Amino acid sequence: MSHKQRLQQAAALIRQHHRIVAFTGAGISTESGIPDLDGIDQILKKSHKFAGNVFRFLDPKEAIANPHTFYQMYRQTFCQPEARPNSAHKALVQLEKAKKLLGVVTMNVDYLHQKAGTRNIAEYWGDVRRNHCTICHRPSDWQKPSTATIPNCPNCGGLILPDFVLRRLATYPDEIRHGQQMLAQADLLLIIGTRHAASSFRLNCPKIVINDSRVSMQNLAEPNTIYLSGKAAEILSGIVA
């Protein structure tokens, strides 16, 4: 089956279903200027002030010990207040308004789904708006880390860090439950911009996988699954249109 035929088949599936759930990863936001994990690793490798991978970068002990370096890297990676939703985020909003999309389950912390207008969303790791003082735990305005060189708490002077770093990348149990409930109700899954294998989701639920990585023959042979390789913004907006 050609790429065009798979696009047509995907559009037909979306027309037929009314309990669609989107599961999104970093690949949906790269066209908004937010790097994925590979992109972040490249940024870190180019830095002369930091030696380590993304998981060391997001270790709260490392951030507290070297806050200047952390925030220098943070503003090149996760903290992008000027980023705007792209056509993929907006296409999901269109589906939600048409009462075809139940909601979005995301692994991203960039807040772009909400900026686009998605109403029902489960954020497994929270988002960049959530920040707290490392000493008194007072919540902080999410814009502060994007403006102050090293943001400090107005209450005690302690260092402010994003919650997903402070929590050592721990997920939020309530968000996980919300996401699992949505996924259990889905009659069609849109798996967009993530390395999560389609086979890790419910086997009896049809799936459309949109990813920038190359589609293998093994992928194409998976039952109930349509693989579409390319930019999420272009592919998803085209299907919805």
Find the CATH number of the domain harbouring 114.
3.40.50.1220
Residue list, annotated binding site for Zn(2+):
133, 136, 153, 156
Q: What percent of the chain has pLDDT over 70?
A: 97
CA 100 – CA 103 distance, rounded (Å): 9
Per DSSP, helices labelled H in 75-202 are: 87-97, 112-116, 144-147, 163-166, 173-185
- Residue 181 has what pLDDT? 98
∠ Cα 215 193 234 (to 5°): 80
Mean pLDDT for the chain?
Answer: 93
Residue 70 in any domain: the answer is no
Give the tens place of pLDDT for each residue, 40-97.
999 998 887 788 889 999 999 999 999 999 999 999 999 998 999 999 999 999 999 9
Q: Is the pLDDT of residue 218 over 60?
A: no
Give the tens place of pLDDT for each residue, 168-214.
999 999 999 999 999 999 999 999 999 899 999 998 999 999 999 76
Task: Domain of residue 107: give its range.
Answer: 1-34+84-125+171-240
Residue 22 in any domain: the answer is yes
Q: How many distinct structural domains can be found in the chain?
A: 1
- Residue 219 has what pLDDT? 56
Phi, psi of 176 (to 5 degrees): -60, -45
- Residue 89 has what pLDDT? 98
Residue 157 in any domain: the answer is no
Residue list, annotated binding site:
133, 136, 153, 156
Residue 186 in any domain: the answer is yes
CA 198 – CA 182 distance, rounded (Å): 16
Residue 191 in any domain: the answer is yes
Average pLDDT estimate for 120-147: 91
- Residue 144 has what pLDDT? 73
Residue 151 in any domain: the answer is no
Residue 158 in any domain: the answer is no
Q: Is the pLDDT of residue 215 over 80?
A: no
Q: What percent of the chain has pLDDT over 90?
A: 82
Residue 56 in any domain: the answer is no
